Amino acid sequence: MKRTIIPVKRKTAQSYTIVIGDDCLKKLIVDIKTKKWANRYAIITDSKVKKLYGEKVQKILKKAGIETVLISFIQGEKHKNFKTVQTILDSLFKEEFHRDDGIIALGGGVVGDIAGFVASLYMRGIPYIQIPTTLLAMVDSSVGGKTGVDTKWGKNLIGSFYNPKAVYIKPSYLQTLPKKQLRNGFSEIIKYGIIARPSLLTFLQKNKESLFAAKTKATSKLIAPCVRIKRTMVQVDERENGMRKLLNYGHTIGHAIEKQSHYTVQHGQAISIGMSIINTIAVSKKWMSKKNAETIKKLFKTYGLPTKLPTSFSNVALVNSIKMDKKIKHNKKTFVVATKLGKARLSTSITNQDITKACRKHA
């Protein structure tokens, strides 16, 4: 597979590159040695990725003369919290890490968010690198510099914007990813198709078998376009004050679903439900056609993504969870609404009654 390099130009600080290709670790080694971002690195990962790739990556770097330590925490969204952050910080202090040392985030979205947050905190900021290992992290969370943890009040409410020095995406890592985790990534890819590039939806419709088999040629044709879409939005709106908010399509309701389920409903599943509920509202207000809503619903079904709320869910609790959404300004909730395939806009006119009514249709 030919290597792809996508630059991310930033207005407020140093730009960085996103390297896509199965030889990206070779590029990582060259970059570490030539750019000299840090003297040594802490590879931060979770318990599952540690066994799959953590020790292998550490050996590769050691062979190249790059000093590392390996730090892991228990896998899962429920461990994306301050306790885990404190444990990692303590490990860095015990290893006597300094400001001229750095971090490598090796894993999915949870790992990337935690490792990036730790990097932003430790000694007021040390450099870090992203190596995503899940489809969701490759197409979305590893790009853009969002870091953070979950709290009892909601998802990602505590965090920082802190960009990596570079992102290295190795598509073949997806071949060990469970189908359930692949679906999480497909949910975000469908989001990109709906808000920005309908051709992604067509590709998904035609290539289900190859994509679920995680064939590198097929997955690479999805990863690079998604990264480019997010790169474009991040470059224009790094701090999420305008265009970048469109990436939250389905996420305001989706994050509330995750919180209410105590994170037993995975991110991609919650987002597909969130997008479906917003689409129902959009159709009711004649912002979206029934035909487009049905096309999206059919694609969710094709990829095994839910459109219905779990039976135990409380609509009242869901609406209350949305009250703590990060995008609320001047006491107004902001939702992303798709008006047709490839086009979306922001709306502050959706009411609690609209949400409750739509949720009943998705119960």
Burial zone of 310 (CB within 10 Å; 0-12 exposed, 13-18 middle, 19+ buried):
middle
CA distance 174 to 172: 5
The residue whose two tokens read 């409410």 is 157
Of the candidates 146, 191, 197, 362, the residue annotated as catalytic is 146
CA distance 112 to 106: 7
Q: Is 209 a catalytic residue?
A: no
Of the candidates 165, 191, 255, 362, the residue annotated as catalytic is 255
Q: Name the nearest CA neighbour of 216 among 167, 168, 175, 169.
A: 175
For the record, the structure tokens of 36 come out as 């000299």
Of the candidates 165, 170, 197, 251, the residue annotated as catalytic is 251
Of the candidates 248, 258, 292, 333, the residue annotated as catalytic is 248
Of the candidates 48, 50, 80, 267, the residue annotated as catalytic is 267
Of the candidates 50, 80, 155, 244, the residue annotated as catalytic is 244
DSSP structural state of residue 247: G
Q: Is 3 a catalytic residue?
A: no
CA angle 297–308–244, rounded 5-degree value:
65
Of the candidates 188, 238, 258, 292, the residue annotated as catalytic is 188
Q: Is 267 a catalytic residue?
A: yes
CA distance 303 to 328: 31
Q: State the virtual CA torsion across 340, 342, 346, 347 in degrees, nearest 10.
A: 10
CA distance 197 to 194: 6
Q: Is 248 a catalytic residue?
A: yes
Q: Is 188 a catalytic residue?
A: yes
| Distances in whole angstroms, Cα of residue 83 to Cα of each of 74, 113, 114, 128 | 11, 14, 11, 21
Q: Is 244 a catalytic residue?
A: yes
Of the candidates 63, 124, 152, 262, the residue annotated as catalytic is 124
Of the candidates 80, 191, 230, 245, the residue annotated as catalytic is 230
Of the candidates 77, 238, 240, 258, the residue annotated as catalytic is 240
Q: Is 330 a catalytic residue?
A: no
Q: Is 240 a catalytic residue?
A: yes
- Per DSSP, helices labelled H in 303-350 are 315-322
Q: Which residues pair with 347 in a beta bridge?
A: 335
The catalytic residues are 124, 146, 188, 230, 240, 244, 248, 251, 255, 267
